[in-house]
Amino acid sequence: DGGITQSPKYLFRKEGQNVTLSCEQNLNHDAMYWYRQDPGQGLRLIYYSQIVNDFQKGDIAEGYSVSREKKESFPLTVTSAQKNPTAFYLCASSRTGAGNQPQHFGDGTRLSIL
Amino acid sequence: RKEVEQDPGPFNVPEGATVAFNCTYSNSASQSFFWYRQDCRKEPKLLMSVYSSGNEDGRFTAQLNRASQYISLLIRDSKLSDSATYLCVVNVEGQNFVFGPGTRLSVLP
């Protein structure tokens, strides 16, 4: 079945540590996105990529980094500079970056600080 | 004013009721509109796109009013399984998707 796979499902970070969240899709979608969701709040865009080897900052990119070396993969690194990383992280993809294509989500990674 | 606003909720309705949610958006250049549902501690799932002429999918009907800059979602004959948070999503061509904060629905037996 085609879909978006995020791993791990749960992740714990120590102070000063960088952690990487994986996102893989086999939908052959061009565009991929990372969002953060805090309890009781809406989704906020961290980074997005409309094509391989290209990505742009979203609304809350500080303390995060991404890469898009392959079409199917868009990993997110939460760096030690992100002082409040505890949240639900959602990866999404869409067929193209055009706004009329809906996004489809992975089942998320919950990140907590130890 | 926030870019996308939704009815604050929560909505608590009995099974079989009809319930409607509204969503307003501030950017008149918005072109694409969607409704997603999100179950507790799960990812959002696409419920339906919203087309200019309005569209229906079973018990769900979506409407768009460009003049007043709002979209609506109507759920008829509510089921227990409809309990979730409903997210309104708006896109301006060339810009990113903007998600509303969501409206929580609880369908009660």
Bridge partners (DSSP) listed for residue A89: A36, A109
Q: Which residues of A touch B43 (CB under 8 A)?
A: 90, 105-108
Write out chain A residues lying below 8 Å of B41, CB-based.
88
State which H helix or E strand residue B77 sits in: none
According to the model, what pLDDT value does residue B79 have? 98
Q: Out of A45, A90, A104, whose CB is closest to B96?
A: A45
**CB distance A48–B96 less than 8 Å?**
yes
Output B42 or A15, whichever has higher pLDDT. Answer: B42
pLDDT in tens, A62-111: 999 999 999 999 999 999 888 899 999 999 999 988 878 899 999 999 99
- Provide the mean pLDDT of chain A: 93
How close, in Å, is residue B40 to chain A by CA atoms? 10
Give the integer Cα–Cα distance in Å for A8 and A5.
9
pLDDT of residue A96: 86
Phi/psi for B25 (5° steps) reads -130, 150
Q: How far is A23 from chain B (nearest CA, A)?
A: 14
Phi and psi angles of residue B77, each rounded to the nearest 5 degrees, phi first: 50, 60
Flag whether pLDDT at A4 surpasses 70. Answer: yes
Contact with chain A for residue B40, Cβ under 8 A: no
Report DSSP letters for B90-108, one per residue.
EEETTS-EEE---EEEEEE
Strands (DSSP E) found in chain B = 4-6, 11-14, 19-25, 30-38, 44-50, 55-57, 60-65, 70-75, 84-92, 97-99, 103-108
Per DSSP bridges, beta strands A10-13 and A4-7 are unpaired
Residue in this structure with the two tokens 């120590």, named with its chain if needed:
A14
pLDDT of residue B95: 75
What is residue A52's DSSP assignment? Answer: T
Task: Enumerate the residues of chain B whose CB falls inside 8 A of the CB of residue A45.
Answer: 96-97
- Contact A90/B43, CB-based, under 8 Å? yes
Q: Is the pLDDT of residue B85 over 70?
A: yes
Q: Nearest residue of A to residue B85 by CA position?
A: A40
Q: Do B46 and A106 touch (CB under 8 A)?
A: no
